[in-house]
Structure 1
């Protein structure tokens, strides 16, 4: 037994603050059909993986003391609860991963039970966890499209949606930091620092399709309560705003900040926080999101979220199209909205590539139409108000 235990790398609480979880972005955006206990247990097990030295036989070893402390389990029946959690994770929990082929506009779905094997006993502190072979590529192939975050941030989160959102925020913020390091455009930085997501995708990611039917109830359960925990217990500070389509809430935009002055780099060492000057600059992305016309274009499916990364498109919208919409509003209130809805209804799919030019020409044409109507109205002769007055009878002068 001792020779076997010598080969086991059992992690203890002293390592927990420095340990990180590394996962592929496809796994982070997947549907996690788990409760909070199963999800936290999975995340803790993943934090034990050394990506540079993958575990032998896909197996890692946890400390029971660490696991119970991490899960905030202090009751006398903790072993029973742990056993039930493992059984539930193996029988019911799975990740549903969707991998897109953007060029062909096709996707492939994969359903994976992440931990099919777990072993423990009543005479030592070791818990043996073995990952399914299918999940390993999302946990050890970390060359591109992966995210790292501190496992200690998840310790205080006792809400499933808080864990799911925290992972998604971490993914977007990591991409944002990469954009800063690579000196990418400001709109790309802001796109990931202030990410947007449709209600449909948010429901899919949080596995809430068909539940929390009322929008206000959904927002409270899936966004407001989780954000309270994230803002209180993690190094992130996140706010949100609603994106509307007519009277309906069509999506959510989040605004992510880091609370700590010092951050932990890839080697676990502290580094100074990068400057937030980018946030205060009046860049194209901010201008586009502040305009009342951007939500209208989103609501009518004339632009998509990914279009906000396109610097050329943003420049043309702000400099060439939005001024035309302002002119339309000056000619007639609501004319810009009417023009956008007209374009959405009548444009062909082939015009997607040239949508900005299409919007511009349509707005210019509508401006000319409204101006002609105004001129015609001005040239029409005014109708005189003929009032039929009774003739005044002059009294006859007596002879």
Structure 2
């Protein structure tokens, strides 16, 4: 099966809300692999389509390096992880990944997806969650990654409320059957170790700005009310696996010009090299995040790029 190509100029991941609401526990590495997998899906994919994930691509995007053993354990876990999805006629239990094959000497992982799960991932229609892959990959916390999915679903409305127990359940901190010990059971523990770091990472790394208020019941924190605002600062082209296009080059050139990079020879060097394009986009993303800290964006860009 030939490599599945990306064709979108602005890559987004879309996920059926039945999957968004499904409860399952994944590590940060597994979530990154899962999001990369989702980014490759297209409506009309045949059931036997193979998808290819580049290890170097993930490392470039996340700034984290994984060894073979870590990746092997992550994909093994993904094959064993099960979605539980309530369908009209009953409960569907389905593995999120059917197989994973490490292609020797290629630095790529070939994966396949269970046929029963594919309709939920590619049949988007009007019921989906949309979120930007690069934002998710920029986060290090598994709680932030998963909460970003939940909150992105409600960004057009601008608010959503969760009962604290409901949120603990969604994040797999609390077993609904009471068989596993509850994590971060005390409100202070939950706030300091999960909630506050999650809010900070989403606000720093994504296209959302979120805040929350609490509601008490019998003196205990019972409900969280989230306010969600979208920002445009991350609506940029990120060249995943770089299928070059003139539009991408035009946008990247404009973004370099906006920070004071006007040297045409330097710009030409960046645009003619796929790896430098990726590095430039990531650097520009960092500059947009740290615009209050970086007083000389052009100098920071040159130093980071090594040009």
The normalised TM-score by structure 1 is: 0.53
**Does structure 1 conserve the Cα–Cα contact (< 8 Å) formed by 2:207 and 2:233?**
no
Ranges of 4+ aligned residues in structure 1 off by more than 6 Å = none
2:144 counterpart residue number:
162
1:126 counterpart residue number:
108
Q: CA deviation at 1:148?
A: 1.5
CA RMSD of aligned residues (A): 2.7
**Does structure 2 conserve the Cα–Cα contact (< 8 Å) formed by 1:196 and 1:252?**
yes
Q: CA deviation at 1:56?
A: 5.0
**Does structure 1 conserve the Cα–Cα contact (< 8 Å) formed by 2:29 and 2:74?**
yes
> 1:39-61 CA deviation, whole Å, 9 max, x = no partner?
2211110101112x324514212
SS at match of 1:47: helix
Identify if the C-alpha distance between structure 1 residues 127 and 21 changes in structure 2 by more than 3 Å, giving closer, same or farther. Answer: same
Q: CA deviation at 1:156?
A: 1.1
1:180 counterpart residue number:
none
1:219 aligns with 2:171: no
1-structure distance, mates of 2:233, 2:104: 44
Unaligned stretches of 5+ in structure 2?
175-181, 238-246, 252-307
Q: Larger relative contact order (C-alpha < 8 A, sep ≥ 6)?
A: 2
**Does structure 1 conserve the Cα–Cα contact (< 8 Å) formed by 2:47 and 2:115?**
no
Q: CA deviation at 1:113?
A: 1.6
The normalised TM-score by structure 2 is: 0.68
1:72 aligns with 2:67: no
1:200 aligns with 2:165: yes
2-structure distance, mates of 1:161, 1:252: 16
1:32 counterpart residue number:
24
Q: 1:294-309 counterparts in 2 under 5 A?
A: none
Q: CA deviation at 1:10?
A: 5.1
Identify if the C-alpha distance between structure 1 residues 113 and 95 changes in structure 2 by more than 3 Å, giving closer, same or farther. Answer: same
> 1:328-362 CA deviation, whole Å, 9 max, x = no partner?
xxxxxxxxxxxxxxxxxxxxxxxxxxxxxxxxxxx
In the comparison of the two structures, how many residue pairs are matched? 233
Unaligned stretches of 5+ in structure 1?
102-106, 177-191, 271-399
Q: 1:135-150 counterparts in 2 under 5 A?
A: 135-150=117-132
Q: CA deviation at 1:220?
A: 2.4
1-structure distance, mates of 2:9, 2:133: 7
Identify if the C-alpha distance between structure 1 residues 97 and 216 changes in structure 2 by more than 3 Å, giving closer, same or farther. Answer: farther
More helix by share: 1
Q: CA deviation at 1:70?
A: 3.6
1:230 aligns with 2:202: yes
Q: CA deviation at 1:234?
A: 0.7
1:171 aligns with 2:158: no
**Does structure 1 conserve the Cα–Cα contact (< 8 Å) formed by 2:14 and 2:128?**
yes
Q: 1:285-296 counterparts in 2 under 5 A?
A: none
2:292 counterpart residue number:
none
1-structure distance, mates of 2:72, 2:21: 28
Identify if the C-alpha distance between structure 1 residues 264 and 66 changes in structure 2 by more than 3 Å, giving closer, same or farther. Answer: closer
Identify if the C-alpha distance between structure 1 residues 95 and 42 changes in structure 2 by more than 3 Å, giving closer, same or farther. Answer: same
1-structure distance, mates of 2:150, 2:9: 21
Identify if the C-alpha distance between structure 1 residues 98 and 33 changes in structure 2 by more than 3 Å, giving closer, same or farther. Answer: farther
**Does structure 2 conserve the Cα–Cα contact (< 8 Å) formed by 1:58 and 1:133?**
no
